[in-house]
Every structure is written in structure tokens, then in C-alpha cells.
């Protein structure tokens, strides 16, 4: 499934006929992705305008942003007319974990039926590291306990961040096995995360 990356210079692409965009969403994935690493690039007005464009198509916005940005976007996130998805647990700093205010914001959004969170790529933001990734798995378990109906999962293959950093490639089988740790090996819950939830969000 592919997504459409959005920046100031590509906003005009959203002004194509809605019929054509709806066709694309049905075949390539109904989402726009914002990958923002620096506060200077956080454009709340752009996000709002994009959300208004895609809401009639039943698309959602996927955010790859820092936890501090989520805090800064709190009011906007609750007002957006479309669902949002947070990559990699909302990038909560492992040292703070669920004590970071972004955790409560994301949980509130999930419980308001406005957001989903990916408990993916356990190596992202982890300080404890491989093989346990105990710190990020604890965050994932807390999200699952909050609202298992709003949880998504993925390995983040082909692991672009690790390629760029020159790190050893993660073992995707091990990453999958870590989902069992986060769900206490509950088969029903695993099925919900891997099958039911993505089916509901992506309309498989």
C-alpha cells in the first residue's frame, strides 16, 4: 500500500477531481503522510487544509512526527475532520514513555474515535535496544490496554531509518514475535491488530 507525501509545493495536487482521487484511494491506500522532523517545518495551516480536502474521500492523515509536535498540535488534532494515524507509538521518548504528555493526547484521540496508533518498529526511539526493546514495548502495551480497537502494527520494512544510519537490519520475524509480547500472546487480540483493525481503517 502506498501513501501520498504532502508538502507546500504539492498541496495543489489535492485539487484534482475528487472522483480521480477517490479512485486512487481505493487502489493505493486512503492516506496522506506527513513526515516532519523539525518544528520549523510544522505547518498547522497546511495540515488543516489537507484534512479538509481529503475528509470527503474518507482518507486519513498518517503522522511521522515527534512527541513534542503532537503536544503542539493538540488542539488541531482534535478539530481535524478526518482520522489520524500516529507512526511508531507517536515517537514517545523511551526515557519518558507514557509519562510524556503526548501519550495522554493520543489515548484521548483514540477513545474519541479520531486516531489510531502503530505499535510498529520497536527499535525506533528505544534506549534498551535489541533484542527486548523493553522500553518501547512497554509503551505499545499501554496503548493496547487503552484501546485495542485502534492499534495497528508493522515492521517498518525496508527499515529506511536503519539503512540511512548504517545500522544492522532488524530481523522482521523477531519484530513480529514482539507483537506477541505486547499482546500477552492473546490470539484474539493479535488477530484484531493484524486483521480486524487494518481492515476497518484501510477498507480492505
- The pTM score is 0.85
Distance CA(114)–CA(188), nearest Å, equals 23
- Under a CB-based contact definition with an 8 Å cutoff, are residues 120 and 88 in contact? yes
Model confidence pLDDT, tens digit, residues 152-197: 998 888 888 888 888 888 888 988 899 999 999 999 999 999 999 9
Task: List all residues 6 or more positions away from 201 whose beta carbon is below 8 Å from its beta carbon.
Answer: 60, 83, 85, 116, 152
Are the C-beta atoms of 36 and 72 separated by less than 8 Å?
A: no
Quick: pLDDT tens for 29-68: 577 889 999 999 999 999 999 899 888 888 899 999 999 9
Amino acid at each position: 500500500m502506498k501513501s501520498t507525501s504532502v508538502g507546500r509545493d504539492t498541496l495543489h495536487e489535492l485539487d484534482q477531481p475528487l472522483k480521480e482521487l477517490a479512485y486512487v484511494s481505493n487502489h493505493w491506500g486512503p492516506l496522506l503522510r506527513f513526515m516532519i522532523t523539525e518544528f520549523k517545518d510544522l505547518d498547522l495551516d497546511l495540515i488543516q487544509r489537507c484534512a479538509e480536502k481529503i475528509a470527503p474521500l474518507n482518507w486519513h492523515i498518517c503522522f511521522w512526527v515527534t512527541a513534542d509536535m503532537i503536544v503542539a498540535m493538540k488542539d488541531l488534532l482534535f478539530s481535524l475532520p478526518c482520522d489520524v494515524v500516529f507512526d511508531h507509538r507517536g515517537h514517545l521518548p523511551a526515557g519518558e514513555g507514557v509519562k510524556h504528555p503526548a501519550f495522554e493526547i493520543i489515548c484521548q484521540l483514540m477513545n474519541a474515535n479520531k486516531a489510531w496508533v502503530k505499535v510498529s518498529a520497536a527499535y525506533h526511539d528505544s534506549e534498551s535496544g535489541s533484542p527486548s526493546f523493553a522500553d518501547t514495548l512497554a509503551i505499545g502495551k499501554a496503548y493496547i490496554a487503552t484501546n485495542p480497537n485502534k492499534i495497528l502494527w508493522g515492521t517498518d520494512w525496508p527499515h529506511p531509518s536503519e539503512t540511512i544510519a548504517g545500522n544492522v537490519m532488524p530481523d522482521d520475524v523477531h519484530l513480529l514475535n514482539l507483537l506477541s509480547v505486547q499482546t500477552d500472546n492473546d490470539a484474539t487480540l493479535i488477530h484484531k491488530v493484524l486483521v480486524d483493525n487494518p481492515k476497518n481503517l484501510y477498507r480492505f
